[in-house]
Amino acid sequence: MHYPYLTTGLPGTGGIFKESPEDFEVTEIPLYEPCGEGEHTYALIEKRGLTTLEMNRRLARALEINERDIGYAGMKDAKGITRQTVSLKGTSPEQVARLEIPNMKVLSARRHGNKLRLGHLAGNSFRIRLREVCSDAARLAESCLDVIMTRGLPNYFGSQRYGVRGNSALAGLKLLSGDFAGAVDAILGNPDDISDERWRSALQAYADGNAALALELFPPHCRTEKELVKVLAKKPGEWERSLKSVHPKIIDLYLSAAQSQLFDLTLAARIDTLARISVGDIACKHANGACFLVTDEPEAAARAAAFEISATGPMFGKKMLIPQSAPAALEERILAEAGLERSIFNNSGRFSLDGERRPLRVQLKEPTVVLQDNGLLLEFSLPKGSYATTLLREIMK
């Protein structure tokens, strides 16, 4: 799904990124520094080509501690060089500093009193190299940055949140609407979209009504698909029963992807007025994330111009603040077009969501652009929960 650019009308630099690990570097900006005392060791780890969860597994194995005793503030991509802090219970800074683990380096280790939790970071700083860009890439990038620094960066999630095959959001929407047969079809996907011959053959066998053959053909990594089909082979048509075989964390990913897509659709509808704020909006304070209903438009507009506040979009759920007036009407339309009603988010049970508001834009910090022989070097910082790919798509087109 393609969403409109903020910088529509400005040419892009073109190019590619993530050709090598050095092309994508990200470093967490901590919310606080370790105090030097306590039962947890805060370690700043540089990793290369590893996911956060794989890093944790290697740390637990090397230190002989339980993975449950490792805390982290955010998930980091396997591609590239990333630096993030983890908290480790049951070990000392000295033990951690001595570690030698392939593709990992301990940059610092110091004690602190509490376990690090998801979200306990201020943001991330990035150093990204784009290769094979056009000859005037620096000028084009700076033109885009001028607009973004004035109006803010659209806070899209983007396709990376919708699953590798792009089917996670659709599965989540079907779950929310109670269309369990549609949810199973979305999770399994279309055989024509699969390049792996064995996987494609398994999906085709299922589509042809031969669930037993499909089970034999699915590759080992298709665990969720196999669990679904195993139930349906014994109980044809028992769609809801088959979904109970899916791990709750996987279900949560589908629901989160649906939330993200509905937010992105709302943002796309407001892209031309990204920096504006209206009566009825739920505004967010960038300093602390607090949200409130806008009733005084001139005052809110002045605060938005100073980038103190921004309008928010919906991460739909039963606890989400609901806007009024035009912003509410837009969100109702987005839901209706997705085949949903707001009332479904009041449901409890396995497919329920708490919900929250998310700012439609974020402030880009300290961007720099340097044209080099081997590409265009970009450096910048973003608050937590925002994605560097959103900036790259604006610059590269």
For the chain, what are the domain ranges? 1-26+126-152+365-397, 32-119, 168-249, 273-362
Taking the model in full, what pTM does it have? 0.92
| Across 181-196, average pLDDT | 92
Phi/psi at 347 (5° precision): -70, 150
Q: What is the pLDDT of residues 291-310, one digit of tens each?
A: 999 999 999 999 999 999 99
pLDDT, the chain, mean: 94
Statement: residue 19 has pLDDT above 80: no
The CATH number given to 32-119 is 3.30.2350.20
Q: What confidence tier does 193 reach under pLDDT thresholds 50, 70, 90?
A: confident
- With a cut of 90, say whether residue 163 has pLDDT above it: no
Summarised one tens digit per residue, pLDDT across range 51-91 is 999 999 999 999 999 999 999 999 888 889 999 999 999 99
Q: Is 272 among the residues known to form the active site?
A: no
pLDDT band at 120 (very low <50, low <70, confident <90, very high): very high
Nearest to 124 by CA among 393, 390, 308: 390
Same fold for the domain at 32-119 and the one at 273-362?
yes
Cα–chain center distance at 375 = 27
Catalytic residue among 69, 77, 281, 354: 77
Greater model confidence, 348 or 100: 100
Angle at which helix 223-234 crosses helix 197-207, to 10 degrees, equals 20
Query: What is d(CA 286, CA 361) in angstroms, rounded to the nearest whole number?
Result: 10
pLDDT value for 18: 78
Task: Estimate to the nearest angstrom the gap between the alpha carbon of 90 and the chain centroid.
Answer: 31
Which residue, chain included where needed, has tokens 């079907």?
Answer: 174
Give the three-state DSSP class for 161.
helix
For domain 273-362, the question of CATH label 3.40.440.10 is answered with no
**Distance (Å) of CA 57 to CA 85, 89, 288, 393:** 15, 14, 33, 33
The continuous run of DSSP H or E covering 95 comes out as helix 93-97
